Structure 1
């Protein structure tokens, strides 16, 4: 009888959907960890460093091509009819094409000047297109209440190809190249785009040819998205500026070691962000309901995130050294203390989601912008000061200080907002999504 009730519970659409989304998310996050080990095992530290630079540039290019325009379009899509949703997508496509052409010119110029490696430029542009289209399709699937399909797309884009390439590299030594990794990454993006296209086929695409971009709406959307774009840019600077500074002052081999560890830690950030997104609706609803509900939602969020972040830090700190020894990665094991030095900063970045979402639910976008930009400036300045002197340990220290500044400033502002929360909003007052954790790449 008990087993029958359990089966009935698991077969309920809402429970089955949540479990499916969770399993897909775990598999995607696990693939990031596997990818970091795979690259460390199969590529030289210099090639690993080249990969780290490429993915850092890709993250900024994705911000440039998307311009956080989704923060405007998703708010418009929620109450829109299917026909109106197609018109919104047309506006987004027009903006994307313009931004992509501009980025293509920049990449072409950088390649011609010898700043960007010519052999990687085609892969970079292909990845930029597939990643952006699949990422936007994922957001549309989520906003149209198809989260399981959205996470299938995420798994195709960032997960399943890693498992496939791991088997290929172990069985075929000639495939152990950076170009092979990029080719399979692009293939995963193409698969995600194809799956998303099928999933969204119920929209009235036949009227697409009659739609024309609404440039007035696009300009309005860009004004709305501007603070989100600057906030996301600040977050990316904190995550990636150290790679450029290490490459310039220390060298590609050292960057490869640093990229290996930051790949694992960015995966932890994505794990934390996945949990944070589960609490976002509760925090928004709590702010709409009043001060008591707002504090209760944040309290539950804080303790859940504290347990996750603490557990992740302790576990990774204990297993990293024996794991590297077991895999024979002595080059990386010799710099294990860099990883330990990076852990406090990642812990604070994970915990910073709590005050960030508290301010986000209260629509305190200006505070979020100032805190992220301020921390980005701190990170940049400290990296420029410390990395030339003490190498990758300086980058780890700079990241920790910047994360501390971010966490403390957000907590101070959020505490003020929570203490004085008297301006309740209607639950129907739409709030956009915060920066997607999948914008952060290894």
Structure 2
């Protein structure tokens, strides 16, 4: 009982620290780097946030309910199907990405950062959701703090100690490394309890059913944002 209370309290503290870290980063960036770089960071963050909704299709609203109905050792085949769907959506998303740059919505030269950060942010977010579904709240909070919290302070420390690195690319590099590390740590944990169960192959009927249920959720989420 005490362990549960400790885990709950520690998780809440980590989540609060994550929110504070993001806020503190924006304040410090405004003081440390040019206004144009702050604007570029904000633009990329917002664009990635919206893109995650589109490539994710809010499919987790369906897959999470399905996972709850099975032992976590059998989640592998569902995750495999979700990966296939995500890759398919990414391929369809590429032409839209071209128009974002062609229309000048995103500045030319940021293509690598946008795509790379979109991938690691989406994957780490889905890993976080799987951990929460599996009731591993502590690891989920640690992963969240790693991908959205602690790296903010690393960026600030680097810029304070090395003024020559006070630019948006320092922010993007550290952000990418932190989210990538979150993907690796969470991915290894999930792989440990899912790789033994082969289950069924790609089930397009399962994917279609999930899309029918998740698309209305996607529309609602985009409307709210």
Where does structure 2 lack aligned partners over 5 or more consecutive residues?
A: none
Q: 1:186 and 2:196 equivalent?
A: no
Partners in 2 of 1:211 and 1:123 — Cα distance? 36
Q: 1:221 and 2:191 equivalent?
A: no
Of the three residues 221, 231, 235, the one matched with 2:220 is 231
How do 1:397-436 and structure 2 match up within 5 A?
Answer: none
Partners in 2 of 1:102 and 1:118 — Cα distance? 20
Where does structure 1 lack aligned partners over 5 or more consecutive residues?
A: 1-8, 237-442
Aligned to 1:86: 76
Q: 1:83 to 1:22 in 2, by over 3 A?
A: closer
Contact residue 34 and residue 167 of structure 2 kept, 8 A? no
Aligned to 1:175: 165
Aligned to 1:434: none
Deviation at 1:129, TM superposition (A): 0.5
Contact residue 68 and residue 225 of structure 1 kept, 8 A? yes
CA-based RMSD of the aligned residues comes to 1.8
Partners in 2 of 1:201 and 1:93 — Cα distance? 14
Contact residue 149 and residue 199 of structure 1 kept, 8 A? no
Partners in 1 of 2:65 and 2:120 — Cα distance? 24
Contact residue 131 and residue 140 of structure 2 kept, 8 A? yes
Aligned to 1:142: 132
- Secondary structure in 2 matching 1:203: helix
Contact residue 104 and residue 125 of structure 1 kept, 8 A? no
Partners in 2 of 1:206 and 1:114 — Cα distance? 47
Aligned to 2:23: 33
How do 1:113-132 and structure 2 match up within 5 A?
Answer: 115-132=105-122
The one of the two structures with greater contact order (alpha-carbon pairs below 8 A, sep at least 6) is 2
Aligned to 1:47: 37
Of the three residues 75, 81, 86, the one matched with 1:96 is 86
Once the two structures are superposed, residues 138-184 of structure 1 have per-residue CA deviations (whole angstroms, 9 ceiling, x without a partner) of: 00000111001001000111011111111000111121111111111
Deviation at 1:75, TM superposition (A): 0.6
Deviation at 1:103, TM superposition (A): 2.2
Counting matched residue pairs gives 225
- Secondary structure in 1 matching 2:192: coil
| Superposition TM-score, scaled by structure 2 size | 0.93
Q: 1:108 to 1:211 in 2, by over 3 A?
A: farther
Of the three residues 151, 156, 159, the one matched with 1:166 is 156
| Superposition TM-score, scaled by structure 1 size | 0.49
Contact residue 80 and residue 202 of structure 2 kept, 8 A? yes
Partners in 1 of 2:125 and 2:217 — Cα distance? 17
Deviation at 1:112, TM superposition (A): 5.5
Q: 1:42 to 1:61 in 2, by over 3 A?
A: same
Partners in 2 of 1:136 and 1:211 — Cα distance? 21
Deviation at 1:67, TM superposition (A): 0.5
Aligned to 1:106: 96
